[in-house]
Amino acid sequence: MNTRRPAGVTLLGSTGSIGVNTLDVIARHPDRFQVIALTAKSQVEKLAEQCIRFQPQYAVMADADAATRLQQELRASAPDVQVLSGADSLVSVAAMQGVDFVMAGIVGAAGLLPSLAAARSGKRVLLANKEALVMSGTLFMQAVQQHGATLIPVDSEHNAILQCLPDDYTPGAPPRGVRRIMLTASGGPFRTLPLGKLANVTPEQACAHPNWVMGRKISVDSATMMNKGLEVIEAGWLFGLPMEGIEVLLHPQSIIHSLVEYEDGSLLAQMGNPDMRIPISHALGWPQRIVSGAHPLDLLAVGKLQFEAPDSARYPCLALAISAWRSGGTAPAILNAANEVAVQAFLEQRIAFTAIHSVIRQTLERCAVHEADSLESILADDVNARATALECVGSGRAVTAS
């Protein structure tokens, strides 16, 4: 008879794609997991539905007005849920006692502080928020090591790499016998669109990913391949490899999620349908395997697998990300901040799709890079980069397609 208590889980960003899929997996294993806290930015109704179903101890909204509305929604069906608000509350539910696992599913820089708090509290950090490592790789990995946290990547590509490494591998150290890793990318919805038409694509077209169901911001990042650039930086921190040991490979089917090449010539690939419940269940169950709910892969139905090199003219954001990583210091944080501003401006139809990389490039050129040796330095450069990027968005010269 199993008398072990269920693992307590805080889910940062529960109403997004990662959060919804995580709750789907958790619901399949009620004896293994107990939801302690759920958090969301603005989707009050959706978070209320989740709270009613999973009855967490805490629910956190980004602002006080949303929290008040949530409290009203829960008054009848989940009155015992304590509703909190603000960034400090996110940090609290990520670090509190009784929480064993923290799913870091908040998109963008907003997820940095609670993800770092989870690491500093020695939790198992299920990292879907790649920006935490992009912005503060040194600090984050130091926190993991110094406080005994367990770091499991949830991004499908990085989780695939982990699955292809030896069972005793610990993220952060160069893996034994590995020559290189290859991150696969679908190429997004515009992989075959004539370059001359990119300037006129709409946010709806950019968010229509051919294989994955994702939020709007990450869908645009996939279309520009900035997502893959951020993942290259994340992979460098997770697997202790230099840029020369990491490659990006276009794979339109999204069946092979990444590959690891060993010194003996062996090439290991993790394969599966494009379903985020697979890496999520791996991270929740590690080192065991648990049921995810994903459909088994039918190779006969897939038929064939394609591979291509990424086109630098089509995906200039990828080169910007790699250049920022080579520059080091706070350059990746500046890159990320500029990208968040530029993508939001595109989604609001204030700039063209082809102007996204122009805003990022000019922000990197205009912002000074400092050592990323303190949270204060990183956050200061993040704020400065956002202001600079907004200036670029507001300038007709800065946002023309180039």
Mean pLDDT of 325-347: 97
Residues 235, 251: Cα–Cα separation, whole Å: 18
- For the segment 364-376, what is each residue's pLDDT rounded down to a tens digit? 999 999 999 999 9
- SS3 of 19-81: the string is HHHHHHHHHCCCCCEEEEEEEECCCHHHHHHHHHHHCCCEEEECCHHHHHHHHHHHCCCCCCC
For residue 166, the tally of other CB atoms under 10 A from its CB is 9
In what helix (H) or strand (E) does residue 302 lie, and over which residues does it extend? helix 299-302
Confidence of residue 395 (pLDDT cuts 50, 70, 90): confident
Alpha helices in 128-225 (DSSP H): 131-146, 156-164, 203-206, 216-224
Q: Structurally, how many domains does the chain consist of?
A: 1
> Who wins on pLDDT, 299 or 109?
299
Residues 217, 302: Cα–Cα separation, whole Å: 28
Helix axes 226-239 and 131-146, enclosed angle (nearest 10): 10
pLDDT for the residue numbered 26: 98
- For the segment 257-290, what is each residue's pLDDT rounded down to a tens digit? 999 999 999 999 999 999 999 999 999 999 999 9
Residues 331, 367: Cα–Cα separation, whole Å: 9
Mean pLDDT, the chain, integer: 94
Q: Is residue 110 part of a domain?
A: yes
pLDDT for the residue numbered 124: 97
State CA 36 to chain mean position distance. 22
Q: Is residue 162 part of a domain?
A: no
CATH code for position 131: 3.40.50.720
pLDDT for the residue numbered 397: 44
CA atoms within 13 A on the CB side of 336: 34
Q: Is residue 65 part of a domain?
A: yes
- For the segment 125-176, what is each residue's pLDDT rounded down to a tens digit? 999 988 899 999 999 999 999 999 999 999 999 999 999 999 889 888 889 9
Burial bucket for residue 168 (CB in 10 Å: 0-12, 13-18, 19+): exposed
Computed on alpha carbons and rounded to an integer, the radius of gyration of the chain in Å comes to 21
Q: Is residue 205 part of a domain?
A: no
- For the segment 337-353, what is each residue's pLDDT rounded down to a tens digit? 999 999 999 999 999 99
pLDDT for the residue numbered 215: 81
pLDDT for the residue numbered 398: 44
Q: Is residue 357 part of a domain?
A: no
Q: Is residue 361 part of a domain?
A: no
pLDDT for the residue numbered 43: 94
pLDDT at 1 over 60: no
Pick the closest to residue 61 from 43, 74, 79 (CA basis). 43
Confidence of residue 83 (pLDDT cuts 50, 70, 90): very high
- For the segment 298-318, what is each residue's pLDDT rounded down to a tens digit? 999 999 999 999 999 999 999
Q: Is residue 73 part of a domain?
A: yes
pLDDT for the residue numbered 9: 98
Q: Is residue 387 part of a domain?
A: no
Confidence of residue 3 (pLDDT cuts 50, 70, 90): low
Tell me which DSSP letter residue 9 carries: E
Residue 308 Cα distances to 163, 247, 252, 318, angstroms: 23, 12, 9, 15
For residue 359, the tally of other CB atoms under 10 A from its CB is 26
- For the segment 33-80, what is each residue's pLDDT rounded down to a tens digit? 999 999 999 999 999 999 999 999 999 999 999 999 999 999 999 999
pLDDT at 355 over 90: yes
- Contact residues for 72 (Cβ-Cβ < 8 A; gap 6+): none
pLDDT at 332 over 60: yes
> Who wins on pLDDT, 121 or 4?
121
- For the segment 183-239, what is each residue's pLDDT rounded down to a tens digit? 999 999 999 999 999 999 999 999 988 777 778 898 999 999 999 999 999 999 999
Cα dihedral across residues 30, 151, 102, 230: positive or negative: negative
Residues 230, 145: Cα–Cα separation, whole Å: 22
Range of the domain at 129: 7-153
**Long-range interactions of 291-298: CB distance < 8 A, separation 24+:** 291/28, 291/29, 292/25, 292/28, 293/24, 293/25, 293/28, 297/255, 297/271, 297/272, 297/273
pLDDT for the residue numbered 173: 86
| Percent of the chain topping pLDDT 70 | 98
Confidence of residue 396 (pLDDT cuts 50, 70, 90): low
Give the position of tokens 């900035």. 226
- Contact residues for 206 (Cβ-Cβ < 8 A; gap 6+): 188, 189, 190, 219, 220, 223, 346, 353
pLDDT for the residue numbered 401: 44
